[in-house]
Copies of this chain bind each other. A is one copy, B any other.
Amino acid sequence: MSLVAVGTVAFDDIETPFGRAEKVIGGACTYISLAASYFVKPVQVVSVIGGDFPEDMLRHLEGRGVDLEGLQVRPDEKSFFWAGKYYRDLNTRDTLDTQLNVLADFDPVLPESYRNAEYLMLGNLTPQVQLRVLEQLKSRPKLVAMDTMNFWMDTAMSDLLKVLKKVDVLTINDEEARQLSGEHSLVKAARLIHQMGPKFLVIKKGEHGALLFHNDELFYAPALPLAEVTDPTGAGDTFAGGFMGWLAKSGDLSMANMRRAVIYGSTMASFCVEKFSVERLQELTPEMIHGRIQQFADLVHFKM
C-alpha cells in the first residue's frame, strides 16, 4: 500500500540547552516520510522546496523509497526556514524566526499517481492547503490523518473546522486539544473533538507519551524515558510517520492495530530526538526498531 505525505520540506536552526544546529534539514513532510519509509513504499511526497535544498538529501529520500513526483522545486527561490529555541524542559520552545519563502503561495498539486491514495497524512500546514489536497483525490482514502497547531486555531479556525470534518485521525498536543475544545480535561476534550469529525484522536504529550481516543476507548502509550534527548524537533511528525506507516503497511484499522500503530509512532519518535535534525532517522535498521518496540512492551508490562 502507499502513503501520501503532505507538509513542509525545509531548513531549521535549532538551539537547545545541549547544543545548536544551523540550517539543518527539517520540515514535517521530511520527518513523516523518513519515519514511514521504514514500513511502507512508496511514501508519496507533496511539498515545495527552493533551489537551495540539498540534492543529496533528495537522493537519500529516493533511496528509501520516497516518491518525489509531487515535490515542487522552484530553483530561484528559497526553501521554508524555521528557527527555534528550546528551554531546559524541552517541552516548551520559542519560535525565533519563520521565513515562508516558497511556502508563501504554495498550491499543492497531486500527481495522477497519488490521486487514489489509500493512506493520507496531512502534515501541519494552513488548513486551506490541506483542503486543496483533499479536493484533488479521486476517491476517499481508507484513512486520512492530519496534524495541526494552535496558530491555525488562532488565525484560520473556520477553515480548520472544514478540514476536521473530512479526516479520520487528528494528531495534536495536549495544549492544542485544550484550546480546540475549550475543555481542560483531555477526556472531555476528546469527546468534543470527536464531534468535530475525527473518529480517532491522538494527543501527543512529548516526554509524557501519547493518548489515543476512539469513542469511549482509551489507550495510553508512555514515552520511553531516555538518558539523552538532543533535539525534540520533528518528534510529533516522526510519530505521525511511524503511526501512518505502520497502518499503511498492515492495512488493519481495528482499534487493536491502532494501539500498535501508536507504539510504532512512539518508537520512531524516541529515535528522532536522540540526534539533531533527521540524522537518527537516516540510520535505523528493522532490528533497532524491533528492539525498541520490545522496550516499550517491557516498560508498561505488569500482570495482576
Contact = CB atoms under 8 A, between A and B. Distances in A.
A227 B188 contact: yes
Interface residues of A, number: 35
A211 B225 contact: yes
Contacts of A303: 256, 260
Interface in A245-280: 256, 259-260, 262-263
A299 interface: yes
A98 interface: no
Interface stretch (A7-15, A119-127, A160-168, A215-223): A215-223
Contact of A225 (B88, B220, B260): B220
Given A263-B302, A299-B220, A226 B185 contact: yes
Contacts of A259: 301-302
A225 B186 contact: yes
A120 B165 CA distance: 55
B222 A185 contact: no
Given A185-B226, A219-B302, A260-B304, A208 B211 contact: no
Interface string A11-29: 0000001000000000000
Number of identical monomers bound together in the oligomeric complex: 2
Nearest to A185: B227
Nearest to A88: B184
Contacts of A211: 225
A293 interface: yes
A89 B184 contact: yes
Interface string A188-221: 1000000000000000010011010000001111
A297 interface: yes
A229 interface: yes
A156 interface: no
Nearest to A295: B218
Contacts of A186: 225
18 contacts: A89-B184, A185-B225, A185-B227, A185-B228, A186-B225, A187-B227, A209-B220, A211-B225, A218-B299, A219-B302, A220-B299, A222-B222, A222-B300, A256-B303, A259-B302, A260-B302, A260-B304, A263-B302
Interface of A: 17, 88-89, 184-188, 205, 208-209, 211, 218-222, 225-229, 256, 259-260, 262-263, 293, 297, 299-304
Given A219-B301, A297-B304, 19 more contacts: A17-B184, A185-B225, A185-B226, A185-B229, A187-B225, A187-B226, A208-B208, A209-B209, A219-B302, A220-B225, A220-B299, A220-B300, A221-B302, A256-B302, A256-B303, A259-B302, A260-B302, A260-B303, A260-B304
